[in-house]
């Protein structure tokens, strides 16, 4: 069974600090996605990484896919209160139409 474990589970930081969130699995994924979810709303897709070792940047957010395609990280530079939310990684299960989601990292950025 493919699983995605995220760490840390909770993170509370001051505005301006940097942080990294991790998404790990013992299984290989053909791609991984990162989503951000705000309370009472559906998750919003931030990025998809496909190639091992790939790095994508979205303003202050940097996403990396591990060389073996078993893990991914999200790094936020100079966090802002607007970055607050639940960050979820997700990936397609082998040979199916299904995507599994990670356990989530709840980030709170204090002004």
User: What are phi and psi for residue 66, nearest 5 degrees?
Assistant: -65, 155
5 touches 25 (CB < 8 A):
yes
**CA angle (65 as vertex; 60, 70 as ends), nearest 5:** 140
Closer residue to other proteins (CB): 47 or 76? 47
Token pair recorded at residue 49:
């990484």
Least Cβ distance, residue 106 to other proteins (angstroms): 6
CA–CA separation, 45 and 25 (whole Å):
20
Interface mask (CB under 8 A) for other proteins, residues 18-47, using x and -?
-------------x-x------xxxxxx--
Interaction residues for other proteins, span 44-103 (CB under 8 A): 44-45, 48, 50, 86, 88, 90, 92, 97-103
Which residues contribute to the site for other proteins (CB under 8 A)?
6, 31, 33, 40-45, 48, 50, 86, 88, 90, 92, 97-104, 106
């Amino acid at each position: 069974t493919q699983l995605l474990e995220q760490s840390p589970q909770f993170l509370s930081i001051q505005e301006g600090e940097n942080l990294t969130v991790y998404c790990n699995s013992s299984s290989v994924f053909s791609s991984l996605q990162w989503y951000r979810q705000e309370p009472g709303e559906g998750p919003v897709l931030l990025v998809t990484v496909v190639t091992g070792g790939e790095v994508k940047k979205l303003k202050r957010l940097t996403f990396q896919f591990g060389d073996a395609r078993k893990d991914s990280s999200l790094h936020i530079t100079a966090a802002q209160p607007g970055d607050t939310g639940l960050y979820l990684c997700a990936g397609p299960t082998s040979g199916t139409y299904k995507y599994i989601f990670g356990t989530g990292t709840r980030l709170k950025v204090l002004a």
